[in-house]
Amino acid sequence: MKKTVISLAAAAVLTASMTATAFAGEAIAPDTFTLTTTFSENEYCGEILTHLNEELQTLSDGALSLDIYWGGTVAGAGEELAFVGEGGLDMTVIGQSQYTSVLPLLNFPSQVITSYEDSINLIDSIAFTNEKTKDFVQAEIESNNVHMIGSMPGGTNAFITKTEYKSIDEMKGLKLGIGMNQSAMESLGFNVVTMMPWDYYDQLSRGVADAGYMSISALISMSLQEVTPFFLADGTYTAGNIITMNLDRWNALSDAAKAVFEQAVANTQKYACEIAVNMDADAETKIIEAGGALNKLGAEDAARVQQAFFTTGTGDARGYALSAGKTDEMEVILAEVAAYIGLDVPDTAATVAADAGDSEGGESAEGESADGESAAE
């Protein structure tokens, strides 16, 4: 894999040094920022946001803090971006896949990364550090009157079944319930059944589908190990939980306050990766307790899944960009993403074929992520 950005650990050290210089000796005015999220306080992303609040308070000596509105009580899924952009509240966490029309350039293939750290680094590099992409990506984000501070990792993804499988070929022909990535799954040999995350427990129990696919943490949070106790991790990871602030609010902050926010997010990114690894270990324990097993695809099969997601994700990205009149910008982004993950950009014919498969399969492009959250958790 070609590394186009520095590691999270190195970035944290560098950012800490820069931040200390930025606000050393400069008083920060007390301020509380309202944040709306569809996540609940007790789930993975809720824990991340709680930690972000703690980091803000620590780094600012108590001057800065968050007042968090949980569970979509203020703005529902897909409403957060406009709500914050219009000044309804100060901040929110948005998912890539919910905003394909207004943030098409951020909807490049991202479910192709093989570690938590790289999933964050890919999105943040395209948005912040890559000289070829950052300017037009930031312009698109700020056109919605929001500022992007950073992204957070989601989970590692897995197939779930009632019978134990260890390869893609063993699962060919199974009815796979899924709400997105349908053409990718069809190309891998599954018989796709449109199914949203909230239907999984009931419909997998009743045999509407033979298998499902989401992040392991989301599947465990819905107790799917009780229904489909055999998990087969595919080695892909996602990010896309993007922390944003109303642009006017951000521009009004002092340089010291901005530096505190950036450092708090950098620290929280590192923390999120650490607890995600622990959550994976806890998930395996729960799977085994339910009489199942957590297996992992072999390298050849994992590469097949990665290629399938990249090909179909490229097709989706090109479609979003075409609708927005941003085809040239997206091609630049796709080339940089391909270089980062070590794959070639699929040609147009391949992605057109993938798009045709999505149209026939009725894929829902918005509203669900690989991990089953309203955004890419």
Provide CATH 3.40.190.170 ranges for the chain.
Answer: 8-155+239-279, 157-236+280-318+344-361
pTM for this predicted structure: 0.82
| Strand residues in 183-335 grouped as ranges (E) | 191-194, 211-215, 230-246, 293-296
Query: How many Å apart are CA 212 and CA 209, to the nearest integer?
Result: 7
203-237 per-position pLDDT tens digit: 999 999 999 998 898 899 889 999 999 999 998 88
Q: Is 145 left (phi over 0), alpha (psi -120 to 50) or beta?
A: left
At residue 24, does pLDDT exceed 60?
Answer: no
Distance CA 233, CA 256 (A): 42
Asked whether the beta carbons of 147 and 244 are under 8 A apart, the reply is yes
Contact call for residues 123 and 244 (beta carbons, < 8 A): no
Quick one: average pLDDT of 75-79?
Answer: 89
Question: Residue 358: what are its φ and ψ, rounded to 5°?
Answer: -65, -40
How far apart CA 127 and CA 150 sit, in angstroms, is: 9
Specify the CATH number for 157-236+280-318+344-361; select among 1.10.3720.10, 3.40.190.170, 3.30.565.10, 3.10.129.10: 3.40.190.170
Greatest Cα pair distance in the chain = 64
CB atoms within 10 A of CB 324: 18
Reported residue count of the chain is 377
Which class in CATH covers the domain with range 8-155+239-279?
Answer: alpha beta
CB 331 within 8 A of CB 339: no
Q: What is the mean pLDDT of residues 249-253?
A: 98
pLDDT band at residue 6 using 50, 70 and 90 as cut-offs: very low
3-state secondary structure of 211: strand
How far is the C-alpha of 108 from the C-alpha of 44, rounded, in Å? Answer: 24
φ and ψ at residue 285, rounded to 5 degrees: -60, -45
Q: Counting beta carbons within 10 angstroms of the beta carbon of residue 17, is it exposed (0 to 12), middle (13 to 18) or buried (19 or more)?
A: exposed
| Calculated CA dihedral for residues 55, 56, 57, 62, nearest 10 degrees | 150
Query: 187-196, 246-255, 366-375: lowest mean pLDDT where?
Result: 366-375
Q: Residue 264: pLDDT above 90?
A: yes
pLDDT of 368: 37
